[in-house]
């Protein structure tokens, strides 16, 4: 957001846009690729943090904290 020139926002203001509409039509479209990259990288990292221990650690005594939610499935739970 700091890399977006203030002149773009000023130009939107000169054209009659409010602060909200200048954010919606100028700033947000310029930051979408950055936000998409951050979301994809975060999802891939969190999936790897779950998948790799699940594949390599088959013994429940050795599994990490990220695999704990599967142990809450038991006899007295409802699906």
Mean pLDDT across the chain: 81
% of the chain with per-residue pLDDT over 70 = 77
Which residue range(s) make up the domain with 19? 6-72
**Residue range 43-61: mean pLDDT, rounded:** 78
What is the SS3 string spanning 5-73? CHHHHHHHHHCCCCHHHHHHHHHHHHHHHHHHHHHHHHHHHHHHHHHHHHHHCCCCCCCCHHHHHHHHC
Residue 22 inside a domain? The answer is yes
Number of domains in the chain: 1
Residue 39 inside a domain? The answer is yes
Cα 67 from chain centroid (whole Å): 21
**Residue range 45-55: mean pLDDT, rounded:** 79
Residue 36 inside a domain? The answer is yes
pLDDT at 71: 57
pLDDT at 77: 60
pLDDT value at 39 more than 80: yes
Residue 77 inside a domain? The answer is no
């Amino acid at each position: 957001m700091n890399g977006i020139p203030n002149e773009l926002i000023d130009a939107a203001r000169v054209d009659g846009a409010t602060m909200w509409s200048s954010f919606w039509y100028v700033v947000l479209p310029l930051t979408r690729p950055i936000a998409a990259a951050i979301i994809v990288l975060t999802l891939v990292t969190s999936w790897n943090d779950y998948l790799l221990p699940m594949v390599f650690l088959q013994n429940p005594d050795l599994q990490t904290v990220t695999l704990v939610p599967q142990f809450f499935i038991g006899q007295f739970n409802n699906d």
